[in-house]
Structure 1
């Protein structure tokens, strides 16, 4: 497996990736941050499989970061913030499950392990949508670890830029019963038109009583901003050679407004600093600065 991510070229409408290139590498990077967060003294979540993905990828940068984790507020900033994000989506699915929703869809699932980590109602099916190479890598690693999902897990190999709804329904998704959807961190990597199509498809598939959670640490972070931040906060950059500005698009519309336009009842939108406060945390100065640059947004809504 290649250990050199490719980030030099700009995105195109039909570009492809695996787990160590382009957008796919960001899933590996976030897994690395979850693994780092689990090493801290008071983690908000524990993803015990995250470190296994890093080991299997043989990525030298992330392997070194895990072997030499920092302990200060600056060095642990991104792992901490992704711990907050992970907790938000964990609680969303747990709440939906507690309410009796037995159908979950993880959009752009990447290296998400909620099917293996969370407690689900009996009879729940979890659909994970992502590109075939990403799903294959995850299945291989979790298989090696002997991991067993805690609910029925169904892989949906599809590109979100195509009509993936056909593959989802073919996998058994039932449009007549409520579902819980997560759209975690993917919107910045989709064009404005692709985002609108995504919400249109989700809305068309969602029965009354369905729920959705949408969120990301930020809409965009370019290398210049990150370098400026690192000047005042040495060690904050835990993204290696990733140039997010080459992978993401400038947002044109607000996802909360899009959901409302599609008939969803949107709850008050929160940012990562507000989530931290709700978890009894006082955000360090570096977290405040990151959010001022990235403009995090976490949304829940019901159908």
Structure 2
């Protein structure tokens, strides 16, 4: 993935959230009034035009043809992670760390995070762009959020100060599939240092999509398209091997759903196929803690 600019996939996820905000409040999976501000000019225009019902349907159709399943699964994934995060806060988490934060707006759009310490970590270029937009939208940077600027090619998380004594939830969304095994190991080792009652919420792709993409609907085209924008996927987990892997870091797997599952949970009326290989998992540092829906 390019480190010199915010990724195009981050733009697309912001687009999905902005389109959702354009729906009537009672129909939304979540409310994100800030996503629009992170969009490029063309995507802002598309979002404005989506207020016209037939145009909205055209936009959805274009996205579905270009990236099958990404739109509906992206919306459901956002809500799913929101719910997982809120559950961990209700169980006593006092600090939230968002790794590879990109255009994630949870720190400013979720009321239950306002009393907590939130730390966002990202590449300096992306972090600076985001900080400027957030300050413009809110009038100043929020006091409860700390922004760490980290170049993963030159620094590690040890370069910054973290309070490991606090029960902490780490959100690691849309990142693992761009890393190598050493970086994955190092990050889970970092997560294991936090107090009991801590959690890691992360996304990953099924390892099979990297080895045999033809077995997954839409995967071959997606991987080719990603290579063209220099966002090649490099890492995946086999779901059946994930519990044993996490156990090495004193973490217990609590949730692990593919896109088909969380799409059915939150938008069962959307019968789209695609992106089933993109998964959300949550692990806990204490086996007595769990997420309940």
Q: Normalising to structure 1: TM-score of the pair?
A: 0.74
Inter-partner Cα distance in structure 1 for 2:228 and 2:20: 22
- Is 2:152 the counterpart of 1:152? no
Matches within 5 A, 1:20-99: 24-40=7-23, 42-54=27-39, 57-58=40-41, 60=42, 62-69=43-50, 70-71=56-57, 74=61, 75=63, 77-99=69-91
Inter-partner Cα distance in structure 2 for 1:161 and 1:198: 14
- Whether the aligned pair in 2 keeps the contact of 1:135 and 1:155 (CA below 8 Å) is yes
- What is the CA RMSD across the aligned residues, in angstroms? 3.3
Inter-partner Cα distance in structure 2 for 1:178 and 1:154: 17
Please report how far the alpha carbon of residue 264 of structure 1 lies from its aligned counterpart in structure 2 after TM superposition. Answer: 0.4
Please report how far the alpha carbon of residue 35 of structure 1 lies from its aligned counterpart in structure 2 after TM superposition. Answer: 1.3
Residue 299 of structure 1: aligned partner: 281
Inter-partner Cα distance in structure 1 for 2:113 and 2:176: 29
Inter-partner Cα distance in structure 2 for 1:247 and 1:64: 28
Residue 17 of structure 1: aligned partner: 4
Unaligned ranges ≥5, structure 2 = 51-55, 286-293
Residue 108 of structure 1: aligned partner: 100
Q: Where does structure 1 differ by over 6 angstroms across 4 or more consecutive aligned residues?
A: 148-151
Q: Normalising to structure 2: TM-score of the pair?
A: 0.76
Matches within 5 A, 1:107-256: 107-120=99-112, 123-146=115-138, 152-161=144-153, 163-169=155-161, 173-203=162-192, 205-216=193-204, 229=218, 243=228, 246-251=231-236, 255-256=242-243
Inter-partner Cα distance in structure 1 for 2:139 and 2:106: 12
Aligned pair count reads 264
- Whether the aligned pair in 1 keeps the contact of 2:201 and 2:282 (CA below 8 Å) is yes
- Whether the aligned pair in 1 keeps the contact of 2:95 and 2:168 (CA below 8 Å) is yes
Inter-partner Cα distance in structure 2 for 1:100 and 1:151: 21
Please report how far the alpha carbon of residue 29 of structure 1 lies from its aligned counterpart in structure 2 after TM superposition. Answer: 2.3
- Is 2:241 the counterpart of 1:259? no
Please report how far the alpha carbon of residue 33 of structure 1 lies from its aligned counterpart in structure 2 after TM superposition. Answer: 2.0
Relative distance call for 1:176 and 1:38 in structure 2 (3 A) is: same
Aligned with 2:261 (options 271, 274, 279): 274
Inter-partner Cα distance in structure 2 for 1:242 and 1:65: 25
- Whether the aligned pair in 2 keeps the contact of 1:115 and 1:151 (CA below 8 Å) is no
Inter-partner Cα distance in structure 1 for 2:251 and 2:226: 38
Please report how far the alpha carbon of residue 211 of structure 1 lies from its aligned counterpart in structure 2 after TM superposition. Answer: 0.9
- Whether the aligned pair in 2 keeps the contact of 1:49 and 1:113 (CA below 8 Å) is yes
Residue 290 of structure 1: aligned partner: 275
